[in-house]
Structure 1
Amino acid sequence: MDTNDTQRNADLARIVRYRRDLHRIPELGFDLGQTTAYVERVLAGLSCEVTHPCDSCVCAYFDAGVDAASTTAIRADMDALPIEEATGASFASTHPGKTHACGHDAHMAMALAAAVYVDYVLRERPGELKRNVLFVFQPAEETTGGAKTVCESGVFERYHVDRIFGFHVWPDLPAGTVASCAGPMLARASETHVRIHGESIHIAKTLGVHEAESHDAALAAARFLVAERELMDRLGAEEPCICKFGLVEAGTVCNAVAGEAHLAGSLRVFTDSMLNRARAGIRRALEEACAATGCTYDLDFAEGYPPVDNDPALFGLAHQVVPELELIEEPLLIAEDFSFYQRHLPGVFFLLGCGVPTAEDGGLPVENPRDEQGCPAYATAALHTDTMLFSEECLLLGLDVYKRLVHMA
């Protein structure tokens, strides 16, 4: 076995251990006691300064002895999802109702392995790193945008960070691939909540009552949903834009007009101008639906996450050291709070393929073997599902990219 094989095996063993340990202890939001303790234990044996710049955030600073104004940051998110795991893996979640179905365990594993690598270079090959490195393990990516809290903490100013990188594992890409693009990559997301207020009366009393005097909150909600869908079709023909409501509730019994209706959805856009137009159109559609039924409404747009917008100059540098990078041709309508970092300093976000490769003859999925612990070689379930699982083999590419990025001039 040559040196490269030995190093690869050591890296894989380390990543597997980190990922599976963390997969067993998923936690939510800012409540990350066991997760942060695990991260801290790994970092404690390395030559770095460990700090906690904000609630449930762990940072590790490696001083390369170079210009203090030259620091590269690497980000990993730590929180999990409120989903009961159904993978059957031997290392499945031990916390009922919680699982790492979005791959944050993998993100932490890659970052911790990269920290071990940086520590090794600083000790064994002094002078080789030309930039300092800051690892950021952040909370609450899935909920309130923990990245925003990290930015507001001042940690980037303290360590003179001038660039940041991050990954997301991606089942829609074949394992062994990494993808990104310059400019807009992921959407701005804004949760949208609608409450319609009508008047609940027995349906026997509604015979002959005009729609405008019905005060029927369910009818108003139905009219709004149709109008809002037509609005999105028009706006989406101009540039990527979508708003859909996954939660619709109205009324309490079958024989009375609904006095209240609640709709919750998500608006996704890429530009501020389209955000303003979409919000104005949604409000107008809601006003018209309520006016037509004699109802009133409350409408709330959450501020949400900004769009992930990769810095073109930094992307160009990264593409030079990662020439195999696949280019994303069309921005994706998902959201990620890595975007807050990019509003604070130049950053590039990558997607790391972990999905099923396709056969050359016909494009059908190839066989998906499992290891002795029941872990599939390639992800066969979507993110945020209870059977999301994949082999750590693909994470070696992410680690390799991180190794190249910390050496990037």
Structure 2
Amino acid sequence: MAAWMPDAYGDTAAGQSSEQILEELRRHRQALHRIPELDFDLPRTIEYVRHHLDGLCCEVFEPCRSCVCAYFDAGRDSTVAVRADMDALPIVERSCAPARSETPGHMHACGHDAHMAMALTFASVVDRAIACAHGGLETGCAETHAAGEREAESLSGERPVLESNVLFIFQPAEETTGGAKTVCESGVFERFGVNAIFGFHVWPDLPAGTVASRPGALFARSSETHIDIKGASAHIATTYGVPDERTHDAMLAAARFVEGARSLMMRLGEREYCIAKFGLLRAGAVCNAVAGEAHIEGSLRVYSDQMFDAARDGVRSCLEDACASTGCTYEVSFASGYPPVINDRALFDRARMAVPHMVELDTPSLTAEDFSFYQQRIAGLFMLLGVGSCPACPAGASSSLHADDLYFDEEPLLAGVDTYCRLFGLGPIA
């Protein structure tokens, strides 16, 4: 067993108190926070996840590269999935976390450690619920099911049981190339007859413990945009009095394009939420020569194919105008990116009945998330979990996702596990 793993796991399961469930949440979250890894390269994270799941009464397997799944058979006709992402970010941590990253230059700055902690803890709850409901002794699960039998005997009345089988998906590469797409292509949904999927993202901008979502568009379609502008380098002294369209000044063309794109998105934004922003611009080599080339990178975010087409055509038009006015040429590429996160309306309505305190958001976010690939295959509901400010940090400081000082307490994660319990028919956490 790796040195960073706990020697043993607590007996967290259905029927335990919120304090006991919170203890497990803290253990998982803090252990995972110490070992952030990137993209598909997740050996320690996968080892940790498998170590926990291998001790439960489920089928654990890897349907595709760097993905761990666990299937719990509750004897139902349908299967519903729970998704957690495992990868971190290439960020140097400067947070107040009690157990900070042990990997230089890597950090769980987007809360994926919390997503995994909730899923692993809920897997323990599912395991105990099946044991209580069936009391069967399966190979490798005798101790868990014997404990379930004893708990079932001690309870009076009918105990809530799982309404479906459960498939847990721990996926790679949410922050990079969209690991969810490879999971979909693996055929795992078809193999287990999965008809719906749930997922969470922690959200510092919401009060701690708030569960929020909305039907329809929640997150945007993303498209990384790369532009190369070609001009001709010349000493600045030779350009005095030369009309702009004959300067071949790539830097000037880039500046005009960025300003034109800003005006474009203001106009398009009157029709529908959208944005195109450019965070990188490189041009020229020395201070006294016209830039012969410029490179621009940014991101386009929209909610519909119609707006994507309009925004993409508008960006091309802005480039054409900027380059025509400076005698330059250009090349532009739009990455396919992630589709928009579109929540299934019927699934949202069912969730609101199970989780009546869920907040319905008025507007979508321009954030992007590869959970959208799952929703292209099956009905899906993506939810936000407020984590608020961290009481352990100075003055309860809060931060934002992808920031090097992001940290929050584990207590709000109880609301996430409670939501999973309600959605799967187990009722609220005691």
Equivalent residues in 2 for 1:290-301, closer than 5 Å:
290-301=323-334
Which consecutive residues of structure 2, in runs of 5 or more, have no partner in the other structure? Answer: 1-12, 135-159
**Is 1:402 paired with 2:420?**
yes
Equivalent residues in 2 for 1:158-173, closer than 5 Å:
158-173=191-206
**Is 1:288 paired with 2:321?**
yes
Give me the whole-angstrom Cα distance separating, in 2, the residues matched to 1:181 and 1:355.
20
CA deviation digits over 1:137-168, x for unaligned, max 9? 00000111111111111000001000000000
Contact kept? 1:192, 1:267, Cα under 8 Å: yes
Aligned CA distance change for structure 1 residues 174 and 27 (closer, same or farther; 3 Å): same
Give me the whole-angstrom Cα distance separating, in 2, the residues matched to 1:203 and 1:308.
49
For 1:19, the aligned partner's letter is: R
Correspondence for 1:14: 24
**Is 1:27 paired with 2:43?**
no
Correspondence for 2:218: 185
Aligned CA distance change for structure 1 residues 376 and 81 (closer, same or farther; 3 Å): farther
Equivalent residues in 2 for 1:4-403, closer than 5 Å:
7-67=17-77, 70-126=78-134, 128-356=161-389, 369-370=391-392, 380-403=398-421
Question: Secondary structure of 1:169's partner?
Answer: strand
Residue 270 of structure 1: how far off its partner (Å): 0.7
Residue 310 of structure 1: how far off its partner (Å): 0.5
CA deviation digits over 1:24-78, x for unaligned, max 9? 00001111111111000000100010111111000000011222xx001000000
Aligned CA distance change for structure 1 residues 408 and 117 (closer, same or farther; 3 Å): closer
Give me the whole-angstrom Cα distance separating, in 2, the residues matched to 1:377 and 1:302.
42
Aligned CA distance change for structure 1 residues 140 and 154 (closer, same or farther; 3 Å): same
Contact kept? 1:378, 1:391, Cα under 8 Å: no
For 2:420, the aligned partner's letter is: Y
Backbone CA RMSD of aligned residues: 1.8
Question: Secondary structure of 1:173's partner?
Answer: coil
Correspondence for 1:362: none
Residue 226 of structure 1: how far off its partner (Å): 1.2
Contact kept? 1:177, 1:325, Cα under 8 Å: yes
TM-score, with length taken from structure 2: 0.88
For 1:349, the aligned partner's letter is: F
Give me the whole-angstrom Cα distance separating, in 2, the residues matched to 1:119 and 1:110.
14
Question: Secondary structure of 1:194's partner?
Answer: strand
Contact kept? 2:53, 2:70, Cα under 8 Å: yes
For 2:37, the aligned partner's letter is: E
Question: Secondary structure of 1:125's partner?
Answer: helix
Give me the whole-angstrom Cα distance separating, in 2, the residues matched to 1:155 and 1:260.
47
Residue 289 of structure 1: how far off its partner (Å): 0.7
Give me the whole-angstrom Cα distance separating, in 2, the residues matched to 1:376 and 1:174.
18
Residue 125 of structure 1: how far off its partner (Å): 2.3
Give me the whole-angstrom Cα distance separating, in 1, the residues matched to 2:99 and 2:416.
22
For 2:259, the aligned partner's letter is: V
Query: Structure 1 residues 231-240 or 6-15, which shifts more?
Result: 6-15
Give me the whole-angstrom Cα distance separating, in 1, the residues matched to 2:41 and 2:352.
36
For 1:18, the aligned partner's letter is: H
Contact kept? 1:171, 1:379, Cα under 8 Å: no
Contact kept? 2:391, 2:397, Cα under 8 Å: no
Contact kept? 2:198, 2:381, Cα under 8 Å: yes
Contact kept? 1:379, 1:390, Cα under 8 Å: no
For 1:64, the aligned partner's letter is: A
CA deviation digits over 1:332-370, x for unaligned, max 9? 1111111111111000000000114xxxxxxxxxxx632
For 1:76, the aligned partner's letter is: A
Correspondence for 1:361: none
Residue 10 of structure 1: how far off its partner (Å): 1.1
Give me the whole-angstrom Cα distance separating, in 2, the residues matched to 1:377 and 1:321.
36
Give me the whole-angstrom Cα distance separating, in 1, the residues matched to 2:230 and 2:177.
28
Aligned length: 390
Contact kept? 1:190, 1:266, Cα under 8 Å: yes
Question: Secondary structure of 2:205's partner?
Answer: strand
Give me the whole-angstrom Cα distance separating, in 1, the residues matched to 2:218 and 2:391.
32
Aligned CA distance change for structure 1 residues 32 and 277 (closer, same or farther; 3 Å): same
Same amino acid, percent of matched pairs: 60
TM-score, with length taken from structure 1: 0.92
Give me the whole-angstrom Cα distance separating, in 1, the residues matched to 2:16 and 2:367.
38
Which consecutive residues of structure 1, in runs of 5 or more, have no partner in the other structure? Answer: 357-367
Residue 9 of structure 1: how far off its partner (Å): 1.3
Contact kept? 1:355, 1:379, Cα under 8 Å: no
Give me the whole-angstrom Cα distance separating, in 2, the residues matched to 1:404 and 1:5.
13
Query: Structure 1 residues 149-158 or 86-95, which shifts more?
Result: 86-95
CA deviation digits over 1:169-201, x for unaligned, max 9? 001100021100111111111111111111111
Contact kept? 1:183, 1:309, Cα under 8 Å: yes
Residue 5 of structure 1: how far off its partner (Å): 10
Give me the whole-angstrom Cα distance separating, in 1, the residues matched to 2:391 and 2:373.
38
Give me the whole-angstrom Cα distance separating, in 1, the residues matched to 2:283 and 2:407.
36
CA deviation digits over 1:206-226, x for unaligned, max 9? 122221111110000011111
Give me the whole-angstrom Cα distance separating, in 2, the residues matched to 1:329 and 1:397.
21
